[in-house]
Amino acid sequence: MTEIAFQIILYAGNDRSCAMEAIQAAKNGDFDEADRLMEEAKTELGKAHNFQTKLLQDEANGNKNDINVILIHSQDHLMTALTVKDLAIEIIELYKNKHVSA
């Protein structure tokens, strides 16, 4: 359980970092890099989701998982990463629109 939780933390953190870097790239007008980083973020988030899905499938199959602080922490990381990714998409779009109208 702890190993899975740490994998979720790792990949969610990678997603969040890529999304934040993508915002900075867009801020600097490098939209190709911003798009590349958002694709990388999507890949990392997919990996985190795969580990979370394994936990959900195990639970659905009757295999009870011990809930611990590390698992709760991993879910917090995942939800934060999802939020940052969604906001990054919107912020990058704003920078693109600003760049076009300038």
Q: Check if 49 is active-site.
A: no
- Can you give the pTM of this predicted structure? 0.89
- Catalytic pick among 49, 73, 77, 99: 73
pLDDT digit string, tens, across residues 52-76: 999 889 889 998 888 889 999 999 9
* Separation between Cα atoms, residue 9 and residue 3, nearest integer Å: 10
pLDDT digit string, tens, across residues 33-58: 999 999 999 999 999 999 999 988 98
Q: Which residue has tokens 């109208």? A: 101
Q: For residue 73, what are its two tokens?
A: 């922490």
